[in-house]
């Protein structure tokens, strides 16, 4: 959309008008500053029942839980490598396959296996996974 494009353009403008009053770190978007402020709040809403480590963000907590199960939820449809963490998967896609988050394939991980929960960038990759893994 036009709004999303304008928002994305700000990332490349070099302007970082949203500044943390606590540490001075600056951000391109207000939502990023808001998320950052959680780091200073001391609020650890999510606690691991296995190792009792605490997390401010649900997504970080959920990623951490996979370290105990050894589950690797993110699967590369290009080479088959699996990742427990979304950011590891994204870094792999950028550095190994040169697919950025701005590309459709890097951004859309919406094809999720109903059996094991792994996600794939393309429906064809999910279909292949189901045939190979869940006969």
10-41 has which CATH code? 3.30.160
Q: What CATH topology corresponds to 71-133?
A: Double Stranded RNA Binding Domain (3.30.160)
Percent of the chain scoring above 90 in pLDDT: 1
Q: Per residue in 9-52, pLDDT tens?
A: 776 777 888 898 888 889 888 888 888 887 777 677 788 888 88
> Which of 82, 94, 79 has the alpha carbon at shortest distance from 118?
82
Highest mean pLDDT among 51-55, 56-60, 66-70, 82-86: 51-55
d(CA 58, CA 63): 9
- Same-fold call for 10-41 versus 71-133: yes
Q: Domain boundaries in the chain?
A: 10-41, 71-133
Q: Per residue in 29-38, pLDDT tens?
A: 888 888 888 7
């Amino acid at each position: 959309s036009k709004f999303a494009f304008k928002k994305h353009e700000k990332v490349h403008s070099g302007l970082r008008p949203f500044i943390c009053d606590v540490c001075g770190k600056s951000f391109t978007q207000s939502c990023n500053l808001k998320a950052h402020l959680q780091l200073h709040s001391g609020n650890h809403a999510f606690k691991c029942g296995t190792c009792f480590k605490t997390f401010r963000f649900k997504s970080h907590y959920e990623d951490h839980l996979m370290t105990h199960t050894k589950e690797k939820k993110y699967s590369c449809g290009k080479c088959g490598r699996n990742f427990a963490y979304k950011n590891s998967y994204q870094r792999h896609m950028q550095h190994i396959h040169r697919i950025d988050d701005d590309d459709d394939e890097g951004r859309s991980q919406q094809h999720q296996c109903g059996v094991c929960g792994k996600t794939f960038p393309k429906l064809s990759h999910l279909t292949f996974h189901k045939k190979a893994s869940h006969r």
